[in-house]
Amino acid sequence: MTDMTAPQPASDSRSRRNVTVLVFAQAILGAQMPMIFTIGGLAGQSLASNVCFATLPISLIVLGSMLSATPISAIMQRYGRRTGFMVGAMGGALGGAVGAYGLYTASFPIFLLGSLLTGVYMSAQGFYRFAAADTASDAFRPKAISYVMAGGLASAIIGPQIVKLTADAYVVPFLGTYAAVIAVNIIGSMLFLFLDIPKPPVPSEDAPKGRSRMELLKTPRIAVAVICAMVSYALMNLVMTSTPLAVVGCGLSGSLVPDNATQGLSIAEQTDLFVKYAADVVTLHVLAMFAPSFFSGHLIARFGVEKIVGLGILILAGAGAVALSGVTLENFYIALILLGLGWNFGFIGATAMLTEAHAPHERGRMQGLNDLLVFGGVTFASLSSGGLMNCSGGTAEQGWLAVNLAMAPFLVLAGGALIWLAMRPKDDPATV
């Protein structure tokens, strides 16, 4: 594996600096996402009048990200990446503040509003990977993307540990965690002062306008990249969103661990124990999401992006198979690790495929459209997750089964799209 600190071509000196800034941003600011995804469904379950809406707060985060994708992309295209990332951090801080107030007042609607605002940060974070490619050479680009995504390793550790320290810091459960989210955004936003990505030049009247959004989507390589990104991210979110609910539910029903493991504990103590188990599962999942980023760029360069995306889809299918085989703690650990690995190869591969398939002057239009579609799919998955988990069966085990069975048709879609692209004539100009 190539050391990112080793001498690189002179043309990549600026890129290496920007990658370093974005790695730290991914680590610090990105910590808020595993924090919120760990407790969002549990907090929602405590506030919602109907348990079917338990994961609605997480769904609103993703919806906010989807709605913000095009405006954030337009801001970056006009004012630069730094401005767009600052706007995202402000959205995260405001979302944390409103969410904390919703918890304090026990208001589910206010809590949902905070989740929607948090989506502004999630949208901006999605552009870190594109920003890494802006100043990189063709050879360094897939590695730059994967290095930035690798910053999530630290966030995978930092976020859940903050949850453990802050979840019970106040009388109101999880209020301390949302207060910590505000601090994370304020501190992390300072990193962008060191970002050195030029603002896109104002296009002249005779500059190429590029393809329309519909023309871009009709390009086979772009279409397949978007489909694979949507499926990878949506299925990861579908399963991860339900995981804390499933761990706690299966734990309280006695399916997760032997009965003697909780003997003598009150229901409240048992719930607290299983929340910590859920945080550990999410930690390993997020570690698996980002650990391969140290070498996934090299794998893409060596084997080709299509093969790596295909591997990601196969690993996601393996995650579903493990989850369907049982509901012990070991099953959750293995399934969520595989889920993270599959997301990494599928999503980073699809991102690299997309950046190769459009011109620089089409960047703002295509990247905003891509994230609009990706997070639209993730919003649907997140909304479906709570209903499948809590309302598709009488037990937590039956709900978890429904969640993982729902993966199948979308895995077939992504796999079929990759096969279709591979079967197209290599000299077809519409393929690229």
Tens-place pLDDT, residues 190-213: 999 999 888 776 666 666 667 777
Tens-place pLDDT, residues 165-174: 887 888 888 8
Domain span at residue 226?
12-198+213-431
The CATH number for 90's domain is 1.20.1250.20
User: Residue 7 above 50 pLDDT?
Assistant: no
pLDDT band of residue 104 (cuts 50, 70, 90) is very high
**What is the reported pLDDT for 428?**
52
**Is pLDDT larger for residue 321 or for residue 371?**
321
- The mean pLDDT value of the chain amounts to 84
Q: Which of 245, 28, 306 is nearest to 152 (CA)?
A: 28
Question: Rounded to whole angstroms, how far apart are CA atoms 319 and 133?
Answer: 30
| Residue 6 resides in a domain | no
User: How many Cβ atoms from other residues are within 10 Å of residue 424's Cβ?
Assistant: 14
User: Residue 377 above 80 pLDDT?
Assistant: yes
pLDDT band of residue 5 (cuts 50, 70, 90) is very low
| Residue 400 resides in a domain | yes
**Is pLDDT larger for residue 130 or for residue 88?**
88
**What is the reported pLDDT for 339?**
96
| Residue 411 resides in a domain | yes
| Residue 1 resides in a domain | no
User: Residue 118 above 90 pLDDT?
Assistant: yes
Contacts of 180 (CB under 8 A, 6+ apart): 35, 162, 166
Tens-place pLDDT, residues 416-430: 999 999 888 765 544
DSSP string, 331-352: HHHHHHHHHHHHHIIIIIHHHH
User: Residue 181 above 90 pLDDT?
Assistant: yes
**Is pLDDT larger for residue 143 or for residue 341?**
341
Question: Rounded to whole angstroms, how far apart are CA atoms 432 and 426?
Answer: 9
The mean pLDDT value for 95-112 works out to 94
| Total tally of structural domains belonging to the chain | 1
**What is the reported pLDDT for 184?**
95
| Residue 306 resides in a domain | yes
Question: Rounded to whole angstroms, how far apart are CA atoms 380 and 241?
Answer: 12
Question: Rounded to whole angstroms, how far apart are CA atoms 100 and 58?
Answer: 15
pLDDT band of residue 6 (cuts 50, 70, 90) is very low
Question: Rounded to whole angstroms, how far apart are CA atoms 302 and 293?
Answer: 15
| Residue 3 resides in a domain | no
| Residue 167 resides in a domain | yes
**What is the reported pLDDT for 9?**
46
| Residue 319 resides in a domain | yes
pLDDT band of residue 2 (cuts 50, 70, 90) is very low
Phi-psi region of 201 (alpha: psi -120 to 50; beta: other; left: phi over 0): beta
Count Cα atoms within 13 angstroms, Cβ side, for 10.
Answer: 0
pLDDT band of residue 8 (cuts 50, 70, 90) is very low
**What is the reported pLDDT for 143?**
79
Least confident of 206-215, 232-241, 320-329: 206-215
Tens-place pLDDT, residues 280-311: 888 888 889 888 877 887 888 889 889 999 99
User: Residue 45 above 60 pLDDT?
Assistant: yes
Q: Which of 315, 322, 312 is nearest to 401 (CA)?
A: 322
Tens-place pLDDT, residues 70-83: 899 889 888 889 99
